[in-house]
């Protein structure tokens, strides 16, 4: 068992939820993850994450989405310092993009927010700014239900990356 998991398993539930919250901005997710303890290995943590994530209400997903900055921006208003740091790492290609791509991303982000009334969520790790822009433009054609489900899947992927980072911290 990793030291991080061992320490986390021993915390009171409220502290355990706060400790894991930077991995996903949903308080319901963090509280339910704390209730899944003890978790003895990384694979068990990821399995618990999926079980909890897909069991949440739409409002909990939306709370998690709000903890992210817009693609190409550096920080969300509601993010913790650790979450903001991870977002910067995940979006490094979008943040470092050429001005013409940054402008196109900003415009597409506005169109997405006008259409879906929330920010665009994509697992940006390893993707170029141009790839992200293409994904964003393609997803603008989704209906509301399909897009919510795609955003939730993207968030789930982000959580897994962050859980792995968290375990290594």
Domain tally, the chain:
1
- The angle formed by the CA atoms of residues 85, 54 and 40, to the nearest 5 degrees, is 70
Active site residue 77: no
Buried b (16+ CB within 10 A) or exposed e, 20-57: bbbbbbbebbbbbbbeebebeebeebbebbeebbeebe
Give the CATH number of the domain where residue 38 resides. 1.10.3330.10
Query: pLDDT band for position 167 (50/70/90)?
Result: very high
**pLDDT surpasses 80 at 142:** yes
The structure tokens listed for 143 are 């209906």
What sign for the dihedral angle of Cα 110, 112, 118, 120? Answer: negative
For residues 72 and 105, give the distance between their C-alpha atoms in angstroms, rounded to a whole number: 7
Domain that holds residue 148: 3-168
- Mapping DSSP to helix (H, G, I), strand (E, B) and coil, where does residue 169 land? coil
The pLDDT tens digits of the residues spanning 112-124 come to: 999 999 999 999 9
**pLDDT surpasses 80 at 140:** yes
Tell me, what's the pLDDT at 89? 65
The pLDDT tens digits of the residues spanning 70-113 come to: 886 655 555 567 666 666 665 555 555 578 888 999 999 999 99
Selecting among 46, 68, 77, 117, the annotated active-site residue is: 68
Contact residues for 6 (Cβ-Cβ < 8 A; gap 6+):
none
Query: pLDDT band for position 46 (50/70/90)?
Result: very high
Report long-range pairs for 9-12 (Cβ below 8 Å, ≥24 apart): 9/37, 9/38, 9/39, 9/40
What is the mean pLDDT of the segment spanning 62-69?
94
């Amino acid at each position: 068992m990793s030291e991080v998991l061992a320490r986390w398993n021993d915390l009171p539930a409220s502290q355990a939820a706060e400790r894991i919250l930077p991995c996903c901005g949903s308080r319901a997710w963090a509280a339910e993850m704390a209730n899944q303890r003890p978790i003895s290995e990384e694979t068990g943590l990821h399995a618990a994450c999926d079980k909890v994530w897909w069991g949440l209400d739409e409002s909990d997903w939306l709370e998690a989405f709000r903890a992210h900055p817009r693609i190409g921006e550096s920080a969300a208003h509601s993010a913790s310092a650790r979450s903001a740091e991870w977002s910067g790492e995940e979006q490094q290609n979008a943040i470092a993009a050429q001005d013409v791509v940054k402008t196109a991303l900003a415009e597409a982000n506005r169109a997405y927010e006008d259409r879906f009334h929330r920010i665009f969520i994509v697992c940006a790790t390893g993707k170029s700014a141009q790839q992200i822009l293409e994904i964003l433009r393609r997803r603008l054609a989704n209906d509301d239900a399909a897009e919510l489900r795609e955003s939730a899947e993207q968030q789930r992927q982000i959580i897994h990356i962050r859980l792995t980072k968290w375990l290594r911290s």
